[in-house]
Structure 1
Amino acid sequence: MDLMILSIVFIIYFLVLGYVGYLAWKRTQSSEEFMVAGRKTHPYIMALSYGATFISTAAIVGFGGVAGQFGMSLLWLVFLNIFVGVFIAFIFMGKRTRKIGHNLGALTFPEFLSRRFDSRFIQYFSGGIIFFGMPIYASVVLIGAARFMETTLSLNFHLSLLILSIIVAAYVIFGGIKGVMYTEVVQGTIMFFGMIFLLIFTYWLLGGVTGSQTALTNLAPHFPASAQALGGTGWTTFPTLGSPFWWSLVSTMIIGVGIGVLAQPQLAVRYLTVKSNKELNRAVLMGGLFIAAIPGTAYIVGALSNVYFFDKLGQISVDVVGGNIDKIIPTFINMALPEWFVYVFLLTLLAAAMSTLSSQYHAQGTSLGRDIYETLKKKKDVSSVKLTRIGILVAVVLAFVLSLILPGSVVAQGTALFYGICAAAFLSVYICALYWKRATREGAIAGIVSGIIVSLFWLIFVFGKTAKGLGICQFLTGQPMLIPTMPWPAIDAIIIAVPVSLIFTIVVSLLTKPMSQEYIDKCFKSDVSKKSETSGK
């Protein structure tokens, strides 16, 4: 590896990020600018920022590794990422979130729910869920990037984690959401073109689309026996209906991430950064193209890596990496692609990790500073910006510590876990906040609390992967899971917790006094920015 070229590439990259972060710092003068970019973000910036936040090393390294182990059935997640994560999110969730958020002056996702239902409890409780739950997600994103640095640069894994943490913390702490979004435009652009090249080169390397897909299909007899035992049937076919792998793929990966994206706090706050619905409409196409290119490429390449490794080494991907699927994509890149692209892809992964981490740290910082501290302590003796910066620093440390202790092959699972927890706690209440005026404060509280309780109970006592890993059920009951009979240990918590949360929200709302019509009118009043645009014509 040419360290001189690598050093030059990295110096240019970090100089660009430094300049962009400096611009963000200079243009951040208030709490509103620090948290929602002054509500005047360009649709291109919003779309790339949303996509770069959504798609991280978890998608490229973690889920790409899952595709390497289990195949292209994961492409259904790409469909949901585009249809649900962009189209439905922007058009049906984003527009109303932006309008209500503007009407109520909300600066964070917990504050949005809090002001919509006029409840301080919702703000600090939701802030607590985000602050204490998101380090799981942040740590696996860190791990994904650090694994590639370890594989490519022969750099110590722990040192890689430390370097990434320090760099991201610097521009998020000083630049706020503008620092996050401006740098994400640079990072998102690198990710987009890097992954497009990876897809084209991989198909060319393996004999074209038809040839490579046929070769992957013909590898089915070498599909791992352990995966076949779980219901896997090959890299180009869907797993057996009702099998453990089918449930894991559908409930945890496809539904958990594909639907859970609607309730991601770090994504929902993006809707509050634009001026009008026109910006959201214009952002749909760019957002959709970005999502299609990044995870779509990762899942295809992850699966096709089996063809390359089998031809070169006589082994399938999971065997080449010694069972740690988080190393499948990094190992393939380093072995199969030209050296210059290894540098480019390293930047792509760094961009993916840093863009998502910056948004996660910002969301955690605002949760601790504004949603928890300021809400609980009525007398504000410290500014929102200073509190948020302290919260960001704490979030960085938490993610770093967790990344040191988590096991291998955890990136995709950790991502799905956090998405599921957020969906269980917020999705039903969030939808009701936007579309059901009869929803009450008590109903929203019941929905959030019941969702998080059921989700945590299921993860600790029923869902096999987490119940066995945590060991709490074994300690308390003497058995690894309360219900060992299939399919229950393979059903993700989101399948149970979201319906329970919705039922509690609806039933309790119907049994309690409606919110005042005056307050509801304030929440849903006509779009001020739209009126000003019309009057100016």
Structure 2
Amino acid sequence: MNLAILLPLVLVYIGIMSLLAYYGYKKTVTPEDYLVGGRNTNPIIMALSYGATFISTLAMVGFGGVASVYGMGLLWLAFLNIVLGIFVAFAVFGKRIRSMSSKLNASTFPTFLGKHYDSKFITVFAGVMIFIFMPAYTSIVLIGGGRFLQESLSINFNVALLVLAFIVAVYVITGGIKAVMYTDAFGAVIMLVGMAIFLFMTYQAVGGLFGGHRALQSLSSMVPDNLKADGHNGWMSMPDLGSPMWWTLVSTMILGVGIGVLAQPQLAMRSMTVSSNKSLYRSVIVGGVFIFFMAGAAYMIGPLSNVYFMETSGQLAIQAAGGNTDLVIPKMISTLMPDWFVYLFTLTLISATLSTVSSLIHVQSSAFGEDILRTIGVKKIFAGKISPNRLGVIVGVVLAVILAYALPGGIIAQATAFWFGICAAGFLPALTGALFWKRASRQGAAASMVVGFSMSVFGFLFLKSSQSSAFGVSQALFGRDFLLPFPWTNIDPLLYSLPLSTIVFISVSLMTNKKEKQEWNKEKIDAVQ
């Protein structure tokens, strides 16, 4: 790319982001402004911020490239992203989170759970889990953005990584969630325009909507032998039921990420930032359209790239990309799209990186400052010169940068599935019970969270081969990359950790609810007397 064109565009982009961050800073007066935007955020801003936080370079480039191998079956994930990630998250979960968090005066996800169940343990435990495990997810998004800047601007990776981290730290420290959401919304508009154009141009290049799908269907005979052996039936069909590809596609990519979105702290907090249920309903339309053009477009472009590369180079997409799925979408852009779009997509990927990282850092900082330190009684740091939340931003950024250097290559997809999976197993039963079940108990929620996180982490470290091999803990302790044979090597831990944590939550709640209610009534009577 011509740096004489790209650099001014990037500088203008950063300038606009800085102005929006400054505007958020000026609007941030109270702690509630910093944490939940004063609970009066415009629903369109909220929906765009939610979508931009949800979708990052991992979905646009990483999962788009994966779709070039797995085919149109990945569209089931886009379906769950819209139905669960938007409709259920806003219209069902969101409205109750909004109203209940306002009544409880809860400004963070762990504090919401802790106050509802009247448990400091739940608040601190949830905060610790977020602060320990979320940096791994943050770091891989940061890695993706840093590598992209390294290639597009021809700058050192270390410089790119530190620049991104510095930009995020500045506007999260100063403007809190308001600065994050304003900049997210601006980035979301760029992302939406870029992916909509990319989808249109892709279909135009492969013969249109019907012609492109017919051409993709005709490529079924070109499936490589190694993929056939794993259950691949062509890019317009699902893999063989129970095959390695089927387990990976369904359990990890579709269910793991599709269900895990409901228990993502950084996304659930968005519901706390609006003033009414009506605002949440308005957000459904904006959020649904955004997710369709971001996730849905990537999952359609990926499979169709096989048609394009076969027609232009006589190769499948994965072959044209040298066997690296992460290079499919960038190579597709560089060969198909005009020069001006390459510059637009550069800004699109920068926006995706900054929006996701900033939201993750904000949640990590609130977990550290609000849910851990304040809950145990620490309200000021360094003689009152810095608040725990702002110190949390610094610590969160530092941890993300350290992990960005420490994590091995090829761990992006594994870390994504890991974070979404442990959140679903650890948080979803307790969150659902808090919102909809009156007999849910404090002990049931606590036991469920401990069991869910423990079982999920165990599965990722010792059973599921892609993650256990990458993390290396099983190899270090037992001399084996995984402990059990197929199909356990391909089954996502969500499929057994979430049911187990749900059973624990229900059974313990039923056993302890009556006793907890009696204790609560006694405390209430004693307080009156």
Give the TM-score taking structure 2 as reference length.
0.94
Change (3 A) 1:407 1:300: farther
Could you tell me which residue of structure 2 aligns to residue 351 of structure 1?
A: 351
The separation in 2 between residues aligned to 1:413 and 1:465, in whole angstroms, is: 7
Look up the equivalent residue of 1:260 and give its one-letter code: G
Q: Which residues of 2 match residues 381-392 of structure 1 at below 5 A?
A: 386-392=387-393
Could you tell me which residue of structure 2 aligns to residue 438 of structure 1?
A: 439
Does residue 216 of structure 1 match 2:206?
Answer: no
CA contact (8 A) 2:411 2:470 kept: no
CA contact (8 A) 2:408 2:470 kept: no
Does residue 327 of structure 1 match 2:338?
Answer: no
Could you tell me which residue of structure 1 aligns to residue 470 of structure 2?
A: 469
Residue 128 of structure 1 and its aligned partner are, at CA, apart by 0.9
Change (3 A) 1:305 1:298: same
Residue 65 of structure 1 and its aligned partner are, at CA, apart by 1.2
Does residue 128 of structure 1 match 2:128?
Answer: yes
Deviates more, 1:165-174 or 1:175-184: 165-174
The separation in 2 between residues aligned to 1:53 and 1:107, in whole angstroms, is: 18
Could you tell me which residue of structure 2 aligns to residue 338 of structure 1?
A: 338
CA contact (8 A) 2:380 2:386 kept: no
Q: Could you list the structure 1 runs, at least 4 aligned residues long, displaced by more than 6 angstroms after superposition.
A: 382-385, 517-520
Could you tell me which residue of structure 1 aligns to residue 458 of structure 2?
A: 457
Could you tell me which residue of structure 2 aligns to residue 533 of structure 1?
A: none
Deviations 1:236-271 (A, max 9, x none): 211111011111111111011111100000001111
Deviations 1:84-113 (A, max 9, x none): 111111111001111110011001000000
Could you tell me which residue of structure 2 aligns to residue 119 of structure 1?
A: 119
Could you tell me which residue of structure 2 aligns to residue 524 of structure 1?
A: none
Residue 471 of structure 1 and its aligned partner are, at CA, apart by 2.8
Change (3 A) 1:200 1:384: farther
Residue 319 of structure 1 and its aligned partner are, at CA, apart by 2.4
Change (3 A) 1:143 1:225: farther
Look up the equivalent residue of 1:203 and give its one-letter code: Y
Look up the equivalent residue of 1:442 and give its one-letter code: Q
Q: Which residues of 2 match residues 44-59 of structure 1 at below 5 A?
A: 44-59=44-59
Could you tell me which residue of structure 2 aligns to residue 429 of structure 1?
A: 430
Deviates more, 1:449-458 or 1:311-320: 311-320
The separation in 2 between residues aligned to 1:41 and 1:384, in whole angstroms, is: 29
Q: Which residues of 2 match residues 120-199 of structure 1 at below 5 A?
A: 120-199=120-199
Change (3 A) 1:57 1:385: farther
The separation in 2 between residues aligned to 1:456 and 1:10, in whole angstroms, is: 39
Structure 2: gaps (5+ residues): 522-529
Could you tell me which residue of structure 1 aligns to residue 17 of structure 2?
A: 17
Residue 155 of structure 1 and its aligned partner are, at CA, apart by 3.5
CA contact (8 A) 1:144 1:326 kept: no
SS of 2:489's partner is helix
Deviations 1:177-198 (A, max 9, x none): 0000011110111111111011
Does residue 40 of structure 1 match 2:40?
Answer: yes
Q: Which residues of 2 match residues 484-503 of structure 1 at below 5 A?
A: 484=485, 486-503=486-503
CA contact (8 A) 1:34 1:385 kept: no
The separation in 2 between residues aligned to 1:94 and 1:86, in whole angstroms, is: 9
Task: State the number of aligned residues.
Answer: 519
The separation in 2 between residues aligned to 1:409 and 1:334, in whole angstroms, is: 22
The separation in 1 between residues aligned to 2:404 and 2:336, in whole angstroms, is: 28
CA contact (8 A) 2:3 2:153 kept: no
Look up the equivalent residue of 1:505 and give its one-letter code: F
Aligned-pair Cα RMSD in Å: 1.9
The separation in 1 between residues aligned to 2:76 and 2:176, in whole angstroms, is: 34
Look up the equivalent residue of 1:290 and give its one-letter code: F
Q: Which residues of 2 match residues 83-98 of structure 1 at below 5 A?
A: 83-98=83-98
The separation in 2 between residues aligned to 1:349 and 1:517, in whole angstroms, is: 54
Structure 1: gaps (5+ residues): 521-537
Change (3 A) 1:469 1:408: closer
Deviations 1:333-382 (A, max 9, x none): 12221111000011111111111111000000111111111112356567
CA contact (8 A) 1:326 1:410 kept: no
